[in-house]
Amino acid sequence: MNSTKEDIMCTMNMLFNLDTTNVCIIYEWWHIRNTSDFMLSCVVVFCISAFYEYLRITSNELEAMVLQARKSSEQKTVVEHHVNVDVSTAEIKEEACLGPLYQLMAWRSVVYALLLGISFWLMLVFMTYNGYLMITVILGAGCGHLIFNSSNFEDK
């Protein structure tokens, strides 16, 4: 069988489509040539979308922990001022750099950066205008929210 240049090229549609072959997902090397590759790619996109929801919920939990740590830090500062604790500036700077609040803030920033990167990546997947991939992103996010959102299972 002779393959032409059209057989090996990805199609890039700017309109809604339901193609399952000759589709590239974001990268040239992620070229889907048959239906089974397409189904496997949908599973990968689904998992990444669900993982995005896990990170989003983790980010919210880290935000709550940072707010709680700030409240505790403010209460501790008020108590120290009433006791007239004499602490040198160097000790304060060292505690500020290595304290649990700043470690939480650093983790929160890392999770935020990952969220941003994954959200842009999912947007690009969505912009393939492939209906199956669009549905996969939405279902992955929905299932991820159902699975990872612990408030779904808490008593109110």
Give the residue among 54, 45, 56 at the shortest CA–CA distance from 128.
Answer: 45
User: CA-to-CA distance for 141 and 146, rounded, in angstroms?
Assistant: 9
Q: Mean pLDDT throughout 58-76? A: 84
Which residue, 115, 92, 111, 91, is CA-closest to 103?
Answer: 111
Contact 123, 74 (CB under 8 A): no
What are 31-55's pLDDT values in tens digits?
999 999 999 999 999 999 999 999 9
- Our measurement of the distance from residue 53's CA atom to the centroid of its chain's CA atoms, rounded to an integer in Å, reads 6
Q: Which pLDDT score is estimated for 8?
A: 67
pLDDT single digits (tens) 73-114 = 766 654 454 545 555 555 555 455 557 888 889 999 999 999
Paired tokens of 108: 């929160």
Q: Identify which of 55-69, 89-103, 121-135, 142-156 has the greatest average pLDDT.
A: 121-135
Start-to-end CA distance of the chain, whole Å, equals 64
Q: Is it the case that residue 1 has pLDDT exceeding 50?
A: no
**Cα–Cα dist 146/156, whole Å:** 17
Range with the poorest average pLDDT among 26-30, 95-99, 105-109, 149-153: 95-99
Q: Please state, rounded to an integer, the average pLDDT across all residues of the chain.
A: 83
Query: What CA–CA distance (Å, rounded) separates 13 from 70?
Result: 49
Band (pLDDT 50/70/90 cuts) for residue 57 is: very high
